[in-house]
A = this chain, B = another copy of it.
Amino acid sequence: MKISIEQLLEAHSLRKTVVRNQVLDIFLNAREALSHSDIESHFEQVDRITLYRTLKTFEDKGLIHKAIDGSDKPKYALCHSGCDEHEHHDHHAHFHCDDCGKTYCLDEIEAPAVSAPGGFQVASTHLVVTGKCEQCVA
């Protein structure tokens, strides 16, 4: 059973627009996290700025999350569920391939809880794993 794009937008109280539909479609068909330019190259023509704003909106509303991978440019991936306007609940690790540069969500691996040294107040932890992905190992 597949979640429709329209349902996703509606569930997060976002208007259904052409750009948002297209961007969500790209995310739904992607197996790795996507950077701004990754998404841009899926389009024949889009306004870069609109894309920035769309990504920001999606992140704010809890449809996608930033995949911290240690690279210079931010990448995004779909949230699974339970994320909304008020809080993200993605605590899985992310894998970054040193060869091809792609980033994958490792949904099975949780970032460990950490007790920070005195004075520091911990809000969340992120685990980044680097190495070679399936394609690049072969």
The CA-CA distance from A22 to B109 in the complex, in Å, is: 42
Q: Are A108 and B98 in contact (CB under 8 A)?
A: no
Q: Are A130 and B124 in contact (CB under 8 A)?
A: yes
State the majority secondary structure of interface residues on A.
strand
What sequence of 0s and 1s flags, for each residue 97-127 of chain A, a beta carbon within 8 Å of any chain B beta carbon? 0100000101011011010111111111111
The CA-CA distance from A26 to B68 in the complex, in Å, is: 28
**In the complex, residue of chain B having the shortest beta-carbon distance to the beta carbon of A125:** B129
Within the complex, which residue of B66, B98, B134 is in contact with A123, where a contact is CB–CB below 8 Å?
Answer: B98
A119, A127, A129, A137 interface centre (most CB from chain B within 10 Å): A129
Q: What would be 27 A-B contacts, judged by CB atoms less than 8 Å apart?
A: A68-B68, A68-B70, A68-B128, A70-B126, A72-B74, A93-B114, A95-B120, A104-B120, A106-B117, A109-B116, A112-B112, A112-B127, A114-B127, A114-B129, A119-B133, A119-B134, A120-B131, A120-B137, A122-B129, A122-B130, A122-B131, A123-B131, A124-B131, A125-B128, A125-B129, A126-B127, A126-B128
